[in-house]
Amino acid sequence: MKQYRAKQDSVIHLNHLDPDDTGDYKKTDRGKEKAVAVAAGLISRLGELQERLYANGQQSLLVVLQGMDTSGKDGTIKHVMSGVNPQGCKVASFKAPSNSELAHDFLWRVHHEAPPKGQIGIFNRSHYEDVLITRVHGWVSEKVAKQRIEQIKQFEDMLFQNGTTILKFFLHISKEEQKERLEERIRDPEKRWKFNEGDIEERKLWKDYMRAFEDVLAATSTGHAPWYIVPANRKWYRNLVVASTIVEALEDLKLKQPPEPKGVDWKTLKIV
């Protein structure tokens, strides 16, 4: 899945990247079935690796999910993380900051949610909101936005140096796909709770958001905190890409079983 990794200091044009891409899997029922089967195996393996991460208690993993409204952040968490032990995984969502949070620097509330050693942390939206929505709406100046981008890079570098592997996913959908998903929320009574009229207003700023994302992805995709631009029109392929990337990153940690307690004779030990 390295083809979806944003190169460091590169120029990114999201309109040149196909959100409907499905890699080696055809856009057919058969292609979908194959991808779902592969993803299921990866999700099972992710559960095994998470157990080992938890048992070792020496490193952690941070997964950042960003994207436009309806891009599938919730769905990605629901499906990809379905096989992990909830004790070793925590999801944090970042909405509009409270008065208490506004009284601190913008990373204060984020650092508090960073995963401790042995854990997987998932950010459903993240510290990047403070250089995306604030920039698009003109709530901060370009100077402040650039300062924040540098502070984010330093923050992620600090996390990495302290044992946190960082994976960042931009879930890339088309404007047409977003329209269909918003209309589905309106039609389906089971999904109406997700609908927010504010989403329609934000949709009007689509081009502005795409430019903001392009700038941020290019500026903050680093060797130790890379961005992956995930084609997300097809939910089944989105899940496959994210699961594969996470499993590969955990495999690269070469996690070993922790040593057995010393002084125990395992051959003669009996439970009565």
pLDDT tens for residues 18-36?
A: 999 999 999 999 999 999 9
Per-residue pLDDT of 103-138, as tens digits, reads: 999 999 999 999 999 999 999 999 999 999 999 999
Residue 128 to residue 64: CA distance in whole angstroms: 9
Give domain limits for the chain: 2-252
Q: What is the pTM of this model?
A: 0.94
* Confidence at residue 272, expressed as pLDDT on a 0 to 100 scale: 67
| Per-residue tokens: 203 | 């949709």
What DSSP element (H or E) covers 182? Answer: helix 175-187
CB-based contact 235:177 (threshold 8 Å): no
| % pLDDT > 70, the chain | 100
Residue 19 to residue 173: CA distance in whole angstroms: 5
Mean pLDDT of 1-16: 92
Residue 206 to residue 152: CA distance in whole angstroms: 24
| Per-residue tokens: 191 | 């999904």
Out of 2.160.20.10, 3.80.30.20, 3.30.70.1350, 3.40.50.300, the CATH code matching 2-252 is: 3.40.50.300
Rounded to 10 degrees, what is the CA torsion of 31, 32, 37, 43? 130
Residue 63 to residue 166: CA distance in whole angstroms: 6
